[in-house]
Structure 1
Amino acid sequence: METHLSPWVLSLVVYLFLSLANRIRRGSGRRLSGPARLPLFGNALQLPRKRVWMKLADLAKTYGPIYSLQIFRTPVIVINSVEVARELMEAKSANYITRPLTKMVELSGYDNGPVLEPDAGRLRFQRKLLHAALGQGQVQQYEDAQEYHVQTFLRNLAQDPEHYFRHIRHLAAGITIEVSHGYRVRSRDDEFVKEADIFGENFSDAAMPNNYIVDMLPFLAVLPSFLPGMGFKRKAESYKKQYYALADRGHRWVQNEIAKGAARPSLTQIAIAEWKPGQYSEEIIMFSATQVYTGGGDTTTVILAAFLSFMVKHPEILKKAQAEVDRVVGSERLPTVADRPNLPYVEAVFAEVFRLKAPISLLPRLVDQDDVYNGCPIEKGTMVFVNVWGMLHDEDKYPDPHTFKPERWLGGERHPNVYPLDIAFGFGRRVCPGRHIGEDFLFTAVARTIALFNIAPGDESSGGVLVSELGKTFSGRPRQRFSITPRVPNVEELVRYRGE
């Protein structure tokens, strides 16, 4: 019992001492407004463990678009305004680029890669690689990959609608690994996909705040592994071994394809072709590509699953979108990205899905150097929560913000501080580098699903399959049944992939 109690008693004493020192150092100068704080806990007890972004948006109604909190000893600012986010994250992007890490993430090696890289120099090279391979000018290189994976998804949906979510996950994994490594997934049991799923589970476990005692008491990381309570060190080592093996395997596969003259366009292939010895570590290529394909599929999964859910709930909207596709494209071919400017209602549906189900609700950052906003100091080490969900549910910009209403995007100007697709991919130097590829790819999948299928409420007797009330993790219990059926007689011909 003493073994478990002593570190907690010690940490409490240290915490009280540091808290007092912190308060003396800060003094009573002007600071951002925010709710009253409790001794020791600050505002921690006021925040729910689930869907905290909703509570943060609610607090903004009282304290404004940027306000302050204290979570135990950690100072926090919350940004609920696109304008404030652009002023800080873009105009001062170098100061707001760091992402907070749990100690378990660091021990597991997951900070090696552009998603969580703490080293500014390495991150600069990683971002340069990502933009060179995934930027707007590179979109055309991945058109065949997009065509193959979207057509495979549509064919799977037509043949086996019951497992729609499996098809979405297969689509997400397939497109991301082809973009990152040029590897084409052809089997649902693909080993690369399985290993990526294992990585995802391991990373989620390691990244969960305060999931391990070492996250609360970081000094434990330097103690020997044989001591009681050090099981987290062995687990972190197994996570790191799996991650590094996955990265190495993918990189070697691309090198072999290049040697054979068979490599498809990909981030890794482009980076290797442009890489010069001594320019930067080849590890940077390896881990940048690995994090693209292990984490890049989340947006696809969230948006397509949410799209299907909204179409079940709003069949009248689906019918309007289908009528537009029929009128513009006809029934002898499927819509492409080139048709996008001529499909304003489909575009509106697409934008509204992004608004209500943005793939990331809350973007955490750390302040690297002391800063000032409107005369209020923002200290180095402050945690920043960029509340994307709150921004996209701002009732001043989006009347009736919780209602799925594509019409709000018809006939108006696409303002970057309002349009969901200009907000949902992030801000500043951490904006999603694959945005343009992802946007084209997802629009194509959505438009073609609209063209090919009727999606309607169903019941068990009619063979309707379950669709979940979607949360961020898709762990909610399925609550609504729907049926999905082809609406055109030539569906088999239309979903055929004509490449290779």
Structure 2
Amino acid sequence: MGTTILEDKIQEECRHFCSTLRLLVGQPVELRDRLETSVSNIIVSMAVGKRFEYGDPKFGRLQALAERINVTFYKLYIVNCFPVLRFLPGFWKMYNELMNLTAELYNYIREHIGQHGNTAPDEIRDFIDAFNKTKQGFLPDMTLTYLIADLFSAGTETSSLTLCWGFLYLTAYPDVQEKIQAELDRVVGRDRPPAFSDRVNLPYTEATIMEIQRIATIIPLLPHRTSDDTTLLGYDIPAGTNVFVNLWDLHMDPSRWPDPHRFDPARFLGENGRLLAHDAFMPFSTGYRRCWGEQMGKMELFLFLANTLQQFTLKLPEGAEPDFHGISTAFIYPRPFSLIVTNRE
């Protein structure tokens, strides 16, 4: 699917998100659930061509399924390494729960695939259309269901949690927020929403998003398995070895990032104010198995943050202190917090 279709769907959800914020101006509000709903809606819209209204109970169940599947999967990762463990007390109940949750998610997706209907040969409305026009009959029938399930399960929490952490840091660092807003006013103005193409002219905004991804590494360990015998730093690693990419250690290494616990977007800017590449920055992993939703993730983070700060200023309630100690499950969640949304004058 083209980036134009993707951006249109993200922009549509940004409008809905900002509309809900406008109704809550001046009130303490928790954004995590709203961000999760918005990002989920983007994925559902991309996948099956339909978005849900906020508060829809069926959509809420779909979100709950994805979150529980992620948490249970990571708790059971050792069963991937040693499958016999699924028969032992302490594992079998959780394993059966994961299988039941996954089956429910698959049934939900298959239901929507069945209701999708036919599309004109020259039209691509969503992921289903794109898949049907390219599979050429050589992929199993369940492949589309698996792809959509992976996209939904992996893509919802990653973007919504990164944004949630980002808004927390921006309330704690109002000077950073003000610099982003000044850059947006100068480059985009207030008469139109920011477009993804604007980001090349918004280096400070981009640097801030990168710093959010670095300091709030929401998936600290990425599990993989070697497909071939290989050598790394002088160590022989046989094929079939379970390995983990420690992104947290990479992003918080003081030898690569001076004072790594300090939030500082300037790390990613050169003396001329242009963005700097950094070989220790890998929020989407690296290599052949890097996140296949990277383009969508980058677009979501930029458009949500830029659209929100173009229209609103975020701050903590009077007397509240930011808490940057996360809760670790499958992902690293920020502890529940509220913020105050005000209209920009």
Q: TM-score, normalised by structure 2?
A: 0.84
Which residue identity lines up with residue 252 of structure 1 in the other structure? G
> Is the aligned partner of 1:218 residue 2:84?
yes
1:123 aligned residue: none
Whether contact under 8 Å (1:371, 1:377) holds in the other structure is yes
2:252 aligned residue: 393
User: Closer, same or farther in 2 for the Cα pair 1:343/1:165, shift >3 Å?
Assistant: same
1:274 to 110, 130, 134: 134
Secondary structure of the corresponding residue to residue 296 of structure 1: helix
Whether contact under 8 Å (1:199, 1:242) holds in the other structure is no
Deviation at 1:355, TM superposition (A): 1.1
2:23 aligned residue: 159
> Is the aligned partner of 1:446 residue 2:302?
no
Task: Give the number of equivalent residue pairs.
Answer: 336
Kindly provide the CA deviation profile for residues 320-341 of structure 1, in whole angstroms up to 9, marking residues without a partner as x. Answer: 2111212222222232222212
Secondary structure of the corresponding residue to residue 150 of structure 1: helix
Secondary structure of the corresponding residue to residue 335 of structure 1: coil
Kindly provide the CA deviation profile for residues 354-393 of structure 1, in whole angstroms up to 9, marking residues without a partner as x. Answer: 1111332211112233333344322334321211111112
2:41 to 174, 178, 194: 174
Distance 1:347 1:240 in 2: 36
> Is the aligned partner of 1:415 residue 2:272?
no
User: Closer, same or farther in 2 for the Cα pair 1:275/1:377, shift >3 Å?
Assistant: closer
Whether contact under 8 Å (2:252, 2:261) holds in the other structure is yes
Whether contact under 8 Å (1:459, 1:482) holds in the other structure is no
Distance 1:450 1:340 in 2: 14
Deviation at 1:141, TM superposition (A): 2.1
Which residue identity lines up with residue 198 of structure 1 in the other structure? L
Stretches of structure 1 that go unaligned for 5 or more consecutive residues are: 1-132, 489-500
Query: What is the CA RMSD across the aligned residues, in angstroms?
Result: 3.3
2:61 to 165, 181, 194: 194
2:230 aligned residue: 371
1:150 aligned residue: 14
1:436 aligned residue: 295
User: Closer, same or farther in 2 for the Cα pair 1:465/1:251, shift >3 Å?
Assistant: farther
User: Closer, same or farther in 2 for the Cα pair 1:442/1:253, shift >3 Å?
Assistant: farther
Distance 2:260 2:99 in 1: 45
Kindly provide the CA deviation profile for residues 213-267 of structure 1, in whole angstroms up to 9, marking residues without a partner as x. Answer: x98670765x9xxx9x96567545533431331231132132x2x2599x86222
Show the 5 A alignment for 1:331-370. Answer: 331-370=190-229
1:126 aligned residue: none
* RCO comparison, higher one (Cα < 8 Å, 6+): 2
Deviation at 1:176, TM superposition (A): 1.2
Which residue identity lines up with residue 169 of structure 1 in the other structure? E
- Bigger drift between 407-416 and 468-477 goes to 468-477
Whether contact under 8 Å (1:302, 1:357) holds in the other structure is no
Q: TM-score, normalised by structure 1?
A: 0.60
Which residue identity lines up with residue 152 of structure 2 in the other structure? Y
Distance 2:197 2:107 in 1: 40
Deviation at 1:311, TM superposition (A): 1.0
Stretches of structure 2 that go unaligned for 5 or more consecutive residues are: none
Distance 1:172 1:337 in 2: 16
Whether contact under 8 Å (1:157, 1:167) holds in the other structure is no
- The structure with the largest alpha-carbon Rg is 1
Q: Percent identity?
A: 22
Which residue identity lines up with residue 247 of structure 1 in the other structure? I
Whether contact under 8 Å (1:466, 1:481) holds in the other structure is no
Secondary structure of the corresponding residue to residue 313 of structure 2: strand
Whether contact under 8 Å (1:466, 1:482) holds in the other structure is no
Show the 5 A alignment for 1:453-472. Answer: 453-459=312-318, 469-472=325-328
2:103 to 233, 241, 252: 241
1:113 aligned residue: none
Whether contact under 8 Å (2:312, 2:343) holds in the other structure is yes
Kindly provide the CA deviation profile for residues 416-444 of structure 1, in whole angstroms up to 9, marking residues without a partner as x. Answer: 514x3xx1111222211121122122201
User: Closer, same or farther in 2 for the Cα pair 1:312/1:375, shift >3 Å?
Assistant: closer
Distance 1:413 1:325 in 2: 16
Whether contact under 8 Å (1:362, 1:385) holds in the other structure is yes
